Amino acid sequence: MTTAQLLDIPARPDVDVESGVERLKAWWVALAVLLLAACAIAGLLIGPAGLSMRGILTEIASHIPFLDVHSRLDGQSSTILWQLRAPRVALGAIVGASLAMAGSAYQGAFRNPLADPYLLGVAAGAGLGATIVIVFHSQGTSSNLLPLAAFVGGLAAVALTYGLGRSRVGDRSAASLLLAGVTIAAFLTAVETFFQQWKWESLQQVYSFILGGLAGAEWSQVWLVAPYVIVSSIALLLCSRRLDVLTVGDAEAESLGVNARRLRFVIVVSATILTASAVAVAGLIGFIGIIVPHAVRLMTRGASSRVLMPLAALAGAVFLIGCDLIAKSALAPAELPIGVVTAFFGAPFFLVVLRTSRGVA
């Protein structure tokens, strides 16, 4: 990668400086969009109540302006589609995309393919916030307090991590943040465990949040997190080109005119808001932030961050909707926690990444 490319300055206006892989990004995006549409239709179709493909398509078409199509679904089926299944699919897409994009941002910011969105203590902080609400508020799981507490807890944990990590600066600032994240996460997890053991009768509700899930998804949750997700995603996409500069190291980035510490701060804050938003409405769903960006990076043969991030977001949405289909179908009418399904696929992939990270990092 040349200096001109790193600084986003093409050598000549009429010369295409994109790699051969990036010229094919339209094909990757088209494929990801098709897979997302297929998974979304499957999510609307599969469930205890039998809805036909034709009925779903005509119902959707009947809500599109200027199309004279009459729905073939009755009132009850229409309610099931729009109030139960559609918000679940939409929330799954948002959460999966958020975790995958945040994971790709973390991996780029810390130059580590094993980094994930929970690296700096978001999971521990969100888990502690949710545990406190469940333990001390009898209606916590059905009110707005639970997602709010999880969101605030996740942000507070990262703020503590950054405060602790700022005690060491320079070339080791990234490593200091990682060590601070491990320390803060361990402490908050210990506090969370104390509350769990103190109020052991609430363990089932706490573990339900920790393992994650999309059951009971509502449109209100979608509208709740949408503004945070949109703003944070735009911020990451605007930083994506300069994010590649961090791969050469902070000192080299500074020599190219990039403030590495400031750029990393903006990326971490944006990715943390994405992660906290996802955790607030879906619980702690693991592995998406590791395996999806890494898989996309392998398939695109190391594409730049401005290609990787949107592709990872689409792939994350596809992956989580697919995992949710398995979660609600494998033991029907019972439902598996979605975190169990993502771990089932993620743990073996993580082992592969551990064995190959030296060659791809």
- Amino acid in the structure at residue 7: L
Look at residue 357 in the predicted model and tell me its pLDDT: 55
Angle between helices 203-211 and 122-136 (to 10 degrees): 150
Look at residue 110 in the predicted model and tell me its pLDDT: 86
Whether residue 189 is predicted with pLDDT greater than 80 in this model: the reply is yes
Look at residue 207 in the predicted model and tell me its pLDDT: 82
Who's near 286: CB < 8 A, 6+ residues apart?
116, 118, 212, 339, 342, 343, 346
For the chain, the helix, strand and coil percentages under 3-state DSSP, each to the nearest 5: 75, 0, 25
Considering only residues 75 and 266, tell me which one the structure prediction assigns the higher pLDDT.
Answer: 266
Distance CA 149, CA 312 (A): 28
Look at residue 23 in the predicted model and tell me its pLDDT: 53
Distance CA 233, CA 245 (A): 19
Look at residue 66 in the predicted model and tell me its pLDDT: 78
**Coil/strand/helix, residue 299:** helix
Reported as a pLDDT band with limits 50, 70 and 90, residue 173 is low
Mean pLDDT confidence for 179-185 = 89
Look at residue 1 in the predicted model and tell me its pLDDT: 42
Whether residue 10 is predicted with pLDDT greater than 70 in this model: the reply is no
Look at residue 170 in the predicted model and tell me its pLDDT: 46
Look at residue 359 in the predicted model and tell me its pLDDT: 46
Look at residue 299 in the predicted model and tell me its pLDDT: 83
Lowest mean pLDDT among 91-100, 240-249, 309-318: 240-249
Whether residue 15 is predicted with pLDDT greater than 50 in this model: the reply is no
For 52-85, how does the pLDDT look when each residue is reduced to its tens digit (9 = 90+)? Answer: 888 888 888 887 887 777 777 888 888 889 999 9
For 274-317, how does the pLDDT look when each residue is reduced to its tens digit (9 = 90+)? Answer: 999 999 999 889 889 988 998 888 888 767 888 889 999 999 99
Whether residue 139 is predicted with pLDDT greater than 80 in this model: the reply is no
Look at residue 101 in the predicted model and tell me its pLDDT: 95
For 22-52, how does the pLDDT look when each residue is reduced to its tens digit (9 = 90+)? Answer: 555 678 888 899 999 999 999 999 888 778 8
Mean pLDDT confidence for 141-145 = 62
Percent of residues, the chain, with pLDDT higher than 90:
33
Provide the CATH number for the domain formed by 97-360 in this structure.
1.10.3470.10
The domain locations on the chain are 97-360
Mean pLDDT confidence for 128-145 = 74
Mean pLDDT confidence for 337-354 = 82
Burial class (CB in 10 A: 0-12, 13-18, 19+), 167: exposed
How high does pLDDT run on average in the chain?
82
Look at residue 356 in the predicted model and tell me its pLDDT: 65
Mean pLDDT confidence for 86-98 = 95
